[in-house]
Structure formats: C-alpha cells, structure tokens
Amino acid sequence: MTALAPLLKQRIAQTGPIAISEYMQTCLLHPKHGYYTTQAVFGQQGDFVTAPEISQMFGELLGLCLAQTWQDQGRPDRFILLELGPGRGTLMADILHATRTLDGFHAGAQIHLLEASPQLRALQKEKLQPFQPVWAEQVADLPNLPIFCIANEFFDALPIRQFQFEATGWHERLIGLKDGAFHIGLTSAPTHLPALDHRVGEVQIGDIVELNTGGQAIAKQLGHHIEAQGGAALLIDYGDWETLGDTLQAVYQHDITEFLSAPGLADLSAHVDFAALVSNLACKHSRLTPQGVLLERLGITARAQALAKRLSGMALDQHIAAHKRLTHPAEMGNLFKAIALYPSTTHAPAGFTE
Ligand code: SAH
C-alpha cells in the first residue's frame, strides 16, 4: 500500500470518480508523496534512464543544433535558452558544455527552466549554478526575446485524459472505486469536445483517444513566442504522429506495472500525440523524425568515433552500447521521435526536414 492510495480513495469516496489526468497529476506531483517529488527517478538507480543520462552525445548534438539555428537567425545578442522539465539538469549542462567556445552564445544566453518539482529544481540549481538559471512558472511569463528551447521526455510526463468512442459519442474514462479498489469506468453522459472532432471519422466503437490539454497549451504558447520573437524548439518524446488507444504506462523499478497499482511510487507516462501537440500553432513545425535518424543526421557516428579514441575496456564497451541504445531502431532510435518548431520566415533546424 502506498501513502497516496488511501488519500486518492478518500477523495473519490467524497467527490466521486476522478479524471485520469487528476490521478496522474497527484501521483506525479503531490507535494509530499508524488513520484517526481520523492523518488530518485532518473539514472541507473531510478526507474528509467533518459537519453541525456545515457550519453553526453545526446545533449552535445542537440546543443549544437540549437546553436546552429541561433547562428542561422543572425546570432541575436540576447536570447532565452529554455528547457522544459530538465530532470537532473544533465541535458542543459551538456548543451552548455558543447557550446562553450562558440563566440557570443554563452554571453547572450539567459537560462530559463520550467520545472514543477522543488526537489528537481534543487538538483538543477546545483548542477547549473555557474550559469545562474531562472525558473519560470509558464512559457507566457518569459521575456520578449528569441527563445531556443529543448524538451526531452517532458510532454509524456504531463497528465492526459482518455475518451472512449461509443455509439452515443465520446465518454470520458474516470477512476472510481469498486469493492474498495480503483476501477476505471465511463461517464454515463457523452462529452462534446471540439479537440476530439478530427478523430471522429477514423475511430471505431470502443476506441480510446487521449488528450494532453496541458501539453497542447504549452506548445501553443511556445509557438506564439517563437513566431513573434524568433528562435526554435526541439521537442523529443516517446510517441507518434497521432496515437490511438490506451498508451498509459507505469514503470516501477525498471519494470512495467499495472497503471493503478502503485500511485506515487511508479513513473506514469503516456505516448505523445505529436499531431495534436503541433496542431494550430502560430509558427511552423518540421516533420516528425525518429530520434535515431535525427542523431545520425547531426553526426553522432563521427562524435562517437572521436570519443571512442580516448576509451578502452569497459568504458569503451559502455560507450558503444550507449551509441546503439540512443540510435538503434530496436532500442530508443524509433520509439522516440523529435519535432522542431521554428518561425514561418525561416527554415527547419539542422537535422530536421520540412
Ligand atoms: N528532461 C529530463 C527529465 C525528463 S522527466 C531528461 O531527459 O532526463 C520529466 C521532467 O518534467 C521532470 O523534470 C519533471 O519533474 C518535469 N515535470 C513533470 N511535470 C511537469 C509540469 N507539469 N511542469 C513542469 N515540469 C514538469
């Protein structure tokens, strides 16, 4: 039994079934018992290892991609370097390391971070202290400057709602109680949501469609900012162009577990529906690109070979395995996808196609 299970059950008993998004929000970010607020979530000790924690090459190449875009847009002398959901701060640290000799880049960059967990903010502060990062509450609060943004495994951690298509229309899947245990049921009255209209022609009775309203709102704000001020955003996540069905996943100590079994102890995520994420943005977006393809285009093989020259024995084996893990289609190469947002007056960043 977890500390959160009785709290959630009490809430449901008092106010009725809750949306899946409310369950996710509580499990991930409850101030005392939330997953991101209590666990050593990343790295070899945590439940999952993210790309920047696998190898420095990930952050280096994406950092150089952002820096190239900054150069292509005339090297603005003041700009925002933003990361959404920076975790341990490793990705931003690698970006800053890779760009340290680029004239004018560090001098012009104001580092902004969007992070909900106070515990992770503290880790980020420690790691990035020399660069004096600032934590933003939302994208809309950022100063009016060009924005160069990176987000890895951020949107998949945001709460989603699920809707099931029935003859009567869309019915939301809610978490209630049955014999004292969590139980997923459907709202009896159909819900009309314009955000689901475009799916009606393609779904069949019983199909589930997910909605990441919070993620879409953040993408919209980013799109406005990039179109008005310049810059770009590189968004990398677990997902696809249009997702269908229940993609919720709970991971506890490196194993997949039942979604409702360990509230607050398991990492919860859902595949990102990139089509929904980038629909109706003010700026342009690139094609969706598999992570492995993007990293190859950005030169990961040459970088891996250069780094390999300094390594031997176990360190070399680990380095080769990390390269494969990031790029191979059977590992992270295809499961993770990347998309770039950029102003409609410019072209897609290096490694992306239009
Ligand atoms: N980008 C990092 C961490 C990914 S995990 C990496 O690649 O290793 C997701 C991150 O998003 C965590 O830092 C988590 O605390 C943060 N996060 C989750 N929900 C958030 C929210 N609603 N607002 C801001 N940050 C959030």
Atom in ligand 1 nearest the alpha carbon of residue 158: 19
Q: How confident is the model at residue 252 (pLDDT cuts 50, 70, 90)?
A: confident
Q: How far apart are CA 26 and CA 343, in angstroms?
A: 36
Q: Is 178 exposed, middle or buried (0-12, 13-18, 19+ CB in 10 A)?
A: exposed
Q: Domains of the chain (ranges plus CATH)?
A: 48-155+212-246+272-342 (3.40.50.150)
Atom in ligand 1 nearest the alpha carbon of residue 153: 4
Q: How confident is the model at residue 45 (pLDDT cuts 50, 70, 90)?
A: low
Average pLDDT (349-353) is 98
Q: How far apart are CA 320 and CA 336, in angstroms?
A: 19
Q: How confident is the model at residue 254 (pLDDT cuts 50, 70, 90)?
A: confident
Average pLDDT (339-344) is 98
Q: CB–CB of 319/308 below 8 Å? A: yes
pLDDT at 99 over 70: yes
Instruction: Determine the residue of 28, 54, 58, 115 to mutate for testing ligand 1's pocket, defined as the one with the most ligand atoms within 8 A of the Cβ atom.
Output: 115
Name the residue with the closest Cα to ligand 1, atom 11. 85
Query: What pLDDT, in 10s, does the model give residues 318-330?
Result: 999 999 999 999 9
pLDDT at 289 over 70: yes
Q: CB–CB of 153/130 below 8 Å? A: no
Q: How confident is the model at residue 49 (pLDDT cuts 50, 70, 90)?
A: confident
Predicted confidence at residue 344, as pLDDT, reads 98
Q: How far apart are CA 28 and CA 26, in angstroms?
A: 6
Atom in ligand 1 nearest the alpha carbon of residue 87: 13
Query: What pLDDT, in 10s, does the model give residues 156-214?
Result: 999 999 999 999 999 999 999 999 999 999 999 999 999 999 898 899 999 999 999 99
Atom in ligand 1 nearest the alpha carbon of residue 156: 9
Instruction: Determine the residue of 29, 82, 117, 128 to mutate for testing ligand 1's pocket, defined as the one with the most ligand atoms within 8 A of the Cβ atom.
Output: 117
Q: How confident is the model at residue 255 (pLDDT cuts 50, 70, 90)?
A: confident
pLDDT at 1 over 60: no
Average pLDDT (132-141) is 96
Q: How confident is the model at residue 41 (pLDDT cuts 50, 70, 90)?
A: low
Atom in ligand 1 nearest the alpha carbon of residue 83: 1
First to last CA, the chain: 49
127-136, 142-151, 192-201: least confident range: 192-201
pLDDT at 40 over 80: no
CA-CA distances (angstroms) from residue 324 to 59, 115, 197, 304? 16, 30, 40, 10
User: Dihedral of the CA atoms 21, 265, 120, 87 (nearest 10)?
Assistant: -70
Q: How far is the CA of 201 from the centre of ligand 1 (A)?
A: 34
Question: What's the whole-number average pLDDT of the chain?
Answer: 94
Predicted confidence at residue 3, as pLDDT, reads 87
Predicted confidence at residue 43, as pLDDT, reads 56
Ligand 1, CB cutoff 6 Å, lining residues: 36, 42, 50, 52-53, 85-87, 91, 114-117, 120, 152-154, 157-158
Name the residue with the closest Cα to ligand 1, atom 18. 157
